[in-house]
Structure 1
Amino acid sequence: MHVSWNDAVAYCEWAGRRLPTEAEWERASRGGREGNVYPWGNELMTDSGAWQCNIWQGTFPRVNTVDDGWLTTAPVETFSPNDFGLWQTVGNVWEWCSDWYSPRYYERSPRENPRGPDTGSARVLRGGSYLCHDSYCNRYRNSARSSNTPDSSMGNAGFRTVAL
């Protein structure tokens, strides 16, 4: 995909939409299941051993066994949606949020609907990607955060939009 934060914002302006704030993204990803590790619950795999998101399986970074069926990005409706009907909010691709990134922001942010710092050098990414592995980054959790500069594009990044 190779989309930067700047690209995502340009698309939003064209489409009359916007990127979600980091708080909106997390609430949407949780799908109403507050306190759960993943959108579907607390276990990475189903009781029958099936993957519930597109991440790296095998020995990172040498061997991806592709147990979930996907070496890179998976089609949007590959795994079950969360309880809000949103598909693949974790795994598959990192998702850009509107907020500036600060690693310690939540230590001093408002408890209700935090909007992120006023300035910064990097933007928030949420959700992890197909390159995440539990031995390496484990960022495909509802609460996990990352960041990158607004002009950086990655093949494992994307975005979703919300109405104005």
Structure 2
Amino acid sequence: MDRWMRLNQRIVLVVVPVALIGALAGCGDLLEPDLSPSDVDSVQARNALISEEIDLPADYVFIAGVAYPPGFSGHTGYRLMFEARVTLFDDSQRLQGAYVGDSYDREFSEFRPIDCGAGLLATARQKRWTTCDSTTRAKYITNDATNPDSTDVGYGSAAIVLVADAEKTQVHVVIGGT
């Protein structure tokens, strides 16, 4: 009987720790952060602009936004949509100085025409924030010094896209995460 007791104790000493390790290993998914895109509110949107040193006028009305968390480390990417007066599209010089600057002294380029099918507006089209037809006008500026002619935004860069219709100008801020 003594022999069976010692054998049972050994089994318990081996089986219980192995079972606990297995159970805890399965809980690893609970400890990992959620990396899926998430909607943002107006406060989060304005905080994202501040952290990226982009100074949009306060009278631009926040409509919608999505945050794209970084996969490992770095900064979150954002796609934000604001609305402004219809005349902004034709009088957009005010936005030239919207980028306050950073340690790399990057500035926004000049506004250039952009096709509604460009990558900068992909999220806006998917979320149905923007619809494009033959009368839609769009243009953009970027601070992506490594690829200033790109119609997408690189890591750590930002772009502002203006989309105009008869009633308003949509202001899309695209911030590339790192």
Q: TM-score, normalised by structure 1?
A: 0.25
Structure having the higher helix fraction is 2
Q: Point out which structure has higher relative CO (alpha carbons under 8 A, 6+ apart).
A: 1
Quick check: which has more Rg, 1 or 2?
2
